Amino acid sequence: SVLERASARRAAARLAALLGEVVVAAAPGGRRPGPEALRARPGLLRLVPGAVRDVADEVRRPDSPYLRHAVRVTVVTSTGYLLGTALPFGHGYWAPLAAVMSMRPDFGQTYARAVARFAGTLVGVALATGVGRLADPGAYASAGLAVGAAFAVYLLLPSGQAPVQVFISAYVVFLLGMAGEEWTQTVPERVVLTLLGGALAMLSYALFPAWETPRLRARLADWAAAAGRYGAEVLERFARPDRPPTGAVRQALLDLRAARAAWRDALDRAAQEPVRHRGPSPAVTEAAGAAVGRFTRAAMVLEAHLPDRTAAPSAGAAALAEALRRAAERCPGEVRERRVPCWDEVRAAFDAAEASDDPVVRAGAREMVRALEELAEALAAERGDALSAEGAEGS
């Protein structure tokens, strides 16, 4: 409608203005660059120092998933090439190529891609072999079929690994058929080397794993700590409404969103891993995630009702903000060590804030404390389950 288009234009104009302010603030001397400068991208040489710093940071972290993945890819590629060359098939590069195309930093994607690649290879070579046996195409017909298979690969790229691999395998068979090679020379080596590459990719995870499930507790701790810092910054604005904006609330919200995204990604990856017993149970993760989510919503509601700079300070908000900030500092260590966080200081500050004449702070703080209690109950249930399991093993 006309109103929707007008609203979209206003939003686009506002976004363009904000981006212009960001560019001006980032430009040397506050000068507004021209359109060519806005469209310019840094060259390759300018990206090298940042890439070197990132690599150095990951190398210094032995538990880095990126470092582990780099080591896995290096070892698997070298081993696959040596084994593929030693086998009497030829085309020894197919084994490391299949492994590299299947490997991803997390187990779920690696497993799914390895299975899809092997299944697609079987179907593709079977189809191409059937066409070759029935039609007996010559060099020109094989070239046409290869072009058609390549076109199908690009057409089906968004469809996933399995259908793409079907036509990649068919393309290879038709391409080698142009050189006069029989299907008996192509199919066995293609299947065996693809299976070898997938097996090496899976074996690398068994020997040098980087499971996400054991790290779920750390992701939850980071998310809970970020939520606590965000809530503390929001309450600080109620305690000192006359303070000029410093962007602390906005930065805390961005950190909270990043921590929540890391938690959700970790949950998705852990759901596909065969090591559930090494992390919190699904019931505990669901209850704990719901508790932190409830705390976050309460803090967001408070942020939506921030007072004007001329408003009176809220009694008790400063003490509650400080208690939350200290609790957010202790929370990561307690959660990682499977201890139940203690919220006594936060509850005491909330009891003091109950006497506040600000109903917004009272309602928001009440929801925050309830969410923290739910988080403690979820973690206490996990600790109880762990103690029961240890007792069962000891008996």
Per-residue pLDDT of 291-318, as tens digits, reads 999 999 999 988 888 888 888 888 788 8
* Whole-angstrom distance, CA of residue 248 vs CA of residue 254: 10
Confidence class of residue 174 from pLDDT cuts 50, 70 and 90?
A: confident
What is the mean predicted confidence (pLDDT) over 340-359? 78
> 357 — phi, psi (to 5°)?
-90, 10
Nearest to 186 by CA among 198, 175, 200, 201: 175
What is the mean predicted confidence (pLDDT) over 94-110? 83
Within 8 A by CB and 6+ apart from 167, the residues are: 124, 149, 150, 152, 153, 156
* Whole-angstrom distance, CA of residue 365 vs CA of residue 368: 5
Sign of the C-alpha dihedral computed for residues 356, 360, 366 and 368 taken in this order:
negative
Tell me what percent of the residues of the chain surpass a pLDDT of 90. 10
Confidence class of residue 269 from pLDDT cuts 50, 70 and 90?
A: confident
Per-residue DSSP letter, 1: -
Per-residue DSSP letter, 31: P
Model confidence at 62: pLDDT above 90: no
Using CA atoms of 65, 225, 53, 21 in order, give the dihedral in degrees to the nearest 10. Answer: 130
Specify whether the CB–CB gap between 374 and 294 falls below 8 A. yes
pLDDT of 256 reads 92
Q: Residue for token digits 């719901």?
A: 290
C-alpha distances (whole Å) from 296 to each of 254, 266, 289, 340 are 12, 19, 10, 20
Within 8 A by CB and 6+ apart from 312, the residues are: 241
Confidence class of residue 38 from pLDDT cuts 50, 70 and 90?
A: very low
* Whole-angstrom distance, CA of residue 349 vs CA of residue 300: 20
Confidence class of residue 337 from pLDDT cuts 50, 70 and 90?
A: confident
Using CA atoms of 227, 229, 233, 238 in order, give the dihedral in degrees to the nearest 10. Answer: 70
